[in-house]
Amino acid sequence: MVKMLRGRYQPQKLIGRGGFGRTYLALDSDRLNAPCVIKQFAPQTKGTKAFNKAVELFNQEAVRLHDLGEHVQIPALLAYFEHDHFLYLVQQFIDGKTLIQEVLESGPMDEHSIRDLLLDILPVLDFIHRHNVIHRDITPTNLIRRDTDRRLFLIDFGVAKHFGEALSEAAPGTRIGTEGYAPIEQLRGGQAYPCSDLYSLGATCLHLLTGCKPEKLYDHMAGNWRWQDVLAQQSRSVSPELTAVLDRLVMDAVGERFVDAPAVLAALDSSPTFRGNVPGWVRQHPESQAATPTAPQPDSVAVPTQNSVAVPTIDAQIPQTSPPPATATAPAPTPLPTPATPALAMPVTAPDPVKAPDRPAESDNWQCVRVLSGHQSWVTAVAFNPRSATLVSGSLDDTIKVWDLQTGAQMVTLQGHPRGVNDLRISTKGQVLVSCGDDGTVKVWNLSAGRLIHTLEGHARDVTSVTIGHKGWILASGSKDKTIKLWKLDKGTAIRTLLGSPAAVRAVAMMPDESTLFSGGLDNKVRQWDLKTGEMIRFFSGHVSPINDVAVSTDGLFVVSASKDKTLVVWSVGTGSIIHVLKGHNQEVNSVEIAPDNRTIVSGSNDRTVKVWDARTGTLLHTLLGHSHVVSAIAIHRTGRLIASASADKTIRVWRLGGN
């Protein structure tokens, strides 16, 4: 293998080989040494029928990826060329595990995980089918979950065909696809339809659900699937609604299957078990009335002062049992049970209200007043400095940038994390910055001097989230290693490790008085921790998918969680019951913040929007449009009149209430 291909791609190590080629992990010097994958076509023999077919398939993968264009869940085609009589295909590197690897390590998936898989991959299949491409080889090994954001990717388009070609008669004896996952029309005649990919997806789900390969789940004598019997032997089951969807996906007859991916999504959405997965009523402002156009960019941003905000007053208390508005049809939420373990249980008292100070008139609009550009990759974290007109951002390009809000200029670039930055926080006095990243460390910076003070080591995997108490003494970090660590912020020393989370921790948020911590992660639950004892107090259960972020109000009365299930849930801290379920995003919600008025909630989502909610009523007030990619992080200025949103489009947008 040459040291440098095309003066750009530097192979690092061999990660796979087959009869006709090898696959290498490489670095792309033109993209800040970003990792990529190089597929080298290097057959041992030439001139045979098998060789000619291999050349065709290798060329075909490049052509299909090029024809499809860009999709966030398909590895991007970076280059395709010939060098020294070898063919090379360069693709985006997806750092993660295949779904078969996940099952081998963690065991079979449950119903919620299978449903999430379907909701995640079906839109990808709809995309490729609308481009008249049939994948023809969907298996657990061709689905990879990226570590950084838990997003699923569909890979290996080596046998993909245009729809017309996939329907043509294949040569006798042609077998396209993987045994057990490919439907009968592919294996017998080489023909494939959109519903052929759906069959393979269904067989993949059955494998992941049971832990058994499809060929062991099909009774050839009886001519039917016995996957439910296998589940019963494992003392497990799934709902009748999901059973009906999976059974229809893997029907032998083409005409009895779902016709396309949207039909499967419609079946999932209409199933009573899946509708309203989170208990409680939903209050939603129509999005058609909430959209706010992006304003032209002025030369500067007027940063509001604390004096420009009215002195808050407390509205009448809103009891948990107050009836929903006339437009709501679901019953009022009921308190959630506390954990069964007596030591963790807390007494259930009267529901806490969300107290509502006065707020600016709802007719005021949020307008984008500045777009900050300079990062070379996804912007994953953002925070306002409470003591100066500056903003700090972190990115997967491994840098932290400090921005002047008045001019939009980059002031400082901090480099210290050798891998992507996942989260950051600024102390209430504006002097200390804390960041964390994929390198498994937490870093403490002197923000005014731009100097690294401490590097905190101890986590075994990526650190996903950090939080600082208002007193500025305690720092908490959450990690994929399933632990939360507490540190002394001034000395950079460890206090204790909080154990008990059964899955990776994605988010942590601390009470202002530094007495209590809230965490969320891949187990779909919000957990409440006593920081003095290190014990878990209770968990809040209601989400059906992993939690991406949590935020706690400054008055300590309520917590908001953002989830991959496309919802936000407002929880009462006092009782653990649900106050509101916020629905309006049409893709997973990545970030949530609560304004200092304890009345305004702001969220960012994969649907590229920022949404502003009323915490007291649960209504959607505004939808902010402008980002061209996933919104990954949100920050709110201490005055409550500025919002910053960070995005995978490599920009930060600053929004101001009133716009002028």
Question: What is the residue range of 43's domain?
Answer: 9-92
307 within some domain:
no
- Does residue 641 form part of some domain? yes
Whether residues 145 and 220 share a domain: the answer is: yes
Detail the DSSP E strand segments found in 353-420: 366-373, 379-384, 390-395, 399-404, 410-415
Answer whether residue 338 shows pLDDT above 90.
Answer: no
119 and 77 both lie in a single domain: no
490 in any annotated domain: yes
- Whether 344 has a pLDDT exceeding 80, the answer reads no
User: Would residue 299 count as lying in a domain?
Assistant: no
Distance CA(651)–CA(277), nearest Å, equals: 33
The string of pLDDT tens digits covering residues 583-639 is 999 999 999 999 999 999 999 999 999 999 999 999 999 999 999 999 999 999 999
pLDDT of 43 reads 61
Q: Which of 63-67, 352-356, 467-471, 641-645 has the lowest mean pLDDT?
A: 352-356
pLDDT at 416 over 70: yes
Same domain, 172 and 79: no
Asked which of 238, 254, 270 is the last residue of a domain, the reply is 270
What average pLDDT does range 148-176 have in this prediction?
62
- 278 pLDDT above the threshold of 60: no
Residue-level pLDDT at 56: 65
Q: Do 83 and 114 share a structural domain?
A: no
CATH number at residue 57: 3.30.200.20
Q: Per the structure, how many domains does the chain have?
A: 3
Q: In whole numbers, what is the pLDDT of the chain averaged over residues?
A: 81
> Does one domain contain both 24 and 124?
no
Question: 39: annotated binding-site residue?
Answer: yes
Judge whether 120 lies within some domain.
yes
DSSP 584-642: --SS-EEEEEE-TTSSEEEEEETTS-EEEEETTT--EEEEE---SS-EEEEEE-TTSSE
Residue 275 lies in a domain: no
DSSP 7-67: TTEEEEEEEEEETTEEEEEEEEGGGTTEEEEEEEE--SS-SSHHHHHHHHHHHHHHHHHHH
Same domain, 499 and 534: yes
Check whether 291 has a pLDDT greater than 60: no
Strand 620-624 relative to strand 291-292, pairing:
parallel
Would you place residue 3 in the very low, low, confident or very high pLDDT band (cuts 50, 70, 90)? confident
Q: Is 657 a residue whose pLDDT tops 70?
A: yes
- pLDDT for residue 357: 35
Q: What is the CATH number of the domain that holds 623?
A: 2.130.10.10
Alpha-carbon distances of 152 from 235, 295, 395, rounded to whole Å? 28, 34, 21
Same domain, 73 and 221: no
- As a whole-number percent, the residues of the chain with pLDDT over 90 amount to 55
User: Which of 57, 76, 92 is at the close of a domain?
Assistant: 92
Question: What is the DSSP code (8-state) at residue 200?
Answer: H
Report yes or no: 360 and 598 within 8 Å, Cβ to Cβ.
Answer: no
Residue 488 lies in a domain: yes
Query: What SS3 state is found at 519?
Result: strand
Contact 63, 89 (CB under 8 A): no
pLDDT (tens digit, 9 = 90+) per residue, 556-592? Answer: 999 999 999 999 999 999 888 999 999 999 999 999 9
Pair 485, 459: CB distance under 8 Å: yes
What pLDDT shows up at residue 271?
Answer: 57
Contact at 8 Å (CB) between 124 and 73?
A: yes
pLDDT at 620: 96
Say if residue 255 is in the same domain as residue 203. yes
| Per-residue confidence (pLDDT) for residue 299, from 0 to 100 | 42
**54 and 125 share one domain:** no
What is the mean predicted confidence (pLDDT) over 517-531? 94
Q: What is the pLDDT of residue 304?
A: 54
Boundary-marking domain end, from 43, 59, 92: 92
Res 321: pLDDT: 30
Same domain flag for 505 and 547: yes
Report the distance separating Cα 191 and Cα 183, nearest Å.
10
pLDDT in tens, 228-244: 999 999 988 898 899 99
Return the percentage of the chain with pLDDT > 70, whole number.
78
Burial classification of residue 484, based on how many CB atoms lie within 10 Å of its CB (0-12 exposed, 13-18 middle, 19 or more buried): buried
Clarify whether residues 539 and 627 are in a common domain. yes
State the CB neighbour count (10 A cutoff) for residue 38.
24
- CA-nearest of 558, 523, 516 to 537 is 516
Residue 123 belongs to domain with CATH number:
1.10.510.10
| pLDDT score at 51 | 58
**Token pair of 605, please?**
């989502």
Asked whether residue 136 is assigned to any structural domain, the reply reads yes
Q: Is the pLDDT of residue 21 over 50?
A: yes
pLDDT value of position 300: 52
CA dihedral angle for residue 528, residue 533, residue 535, residue 537, rounded to 10 degrees? -40
> CA angle, corner 399, sides to 635 and 430, nearest 5?
45
Tell me what pLDDT residue 317 has.
24
Please state the rounded mean pLDDT for residues 42-58.
61
Predicted confidence at residue 263, as pLDDT, reads 92
Catalytic residues: 137
Beta strands in 193-278 (DSSP E): 218-219, 224-225
* Model confidence band, residue 175 (pLDDT cutoffs 50, 70, 90): low
Same domain, 625 and 513: yes
Q: What pTM does this model have?
A: 0.52
For residue 209, the 8-state DSSP code is: H
Q: Specify the range with the lowest mean pLDDT, choosing from 189-198, 226-235, 393-402, 599-608.
A: 189-198
